[in-house]
Amino acid sequence: MPLQELAAGKRVVGARSVCRKLIKSEIVKVFVARDAEKKVIESVLKEAEARSIPVEWADDSKILGRACLIERPAAVAGLLIDSKNQ
């Protein structure tokens, strides 16, 4: 299951935070919940596409939230670049 990457690595959760990190080129992969509102995820998807960042889809926001080790639903999450491997 690809969502395990979120639990193991450094991550950022939330559309605004993910979008900011995308603009700074600090994200290697974006995760989006299928049940997220279009207006919430639209800017993240555009930034990810413009920067050729892969996008993976989670079945729903509750599953994505759990994968991020938080106790609430998450519409968007991003896997941060591991600075150790640069």
Residue 83 confidence class, pLDDT cut points 50, 70, 90:
low
Rounded to two decimals, what is the model's pTM?
0.90
SS3 content of the chain, % helix, strand, coil (to 5): 45, 20, 35
Are 11 and 58 within 8 A, CB to CB? no
Mean pLDDT (the chain) is: 91
The mean per-residue pLDDT over the stretch 45-54 comes to: 96
Q: Is the pLDDT of residue 86 over 60?
A: no
pLDDT (tens digit, 9 = 90+) per residue, 8-27? 889 999 999 999 999 999 99
Domains, the chain, ordered by start: 4-81 (3.30.1330.30)
Mean pLDDT, residues 72-84 taken together: 88
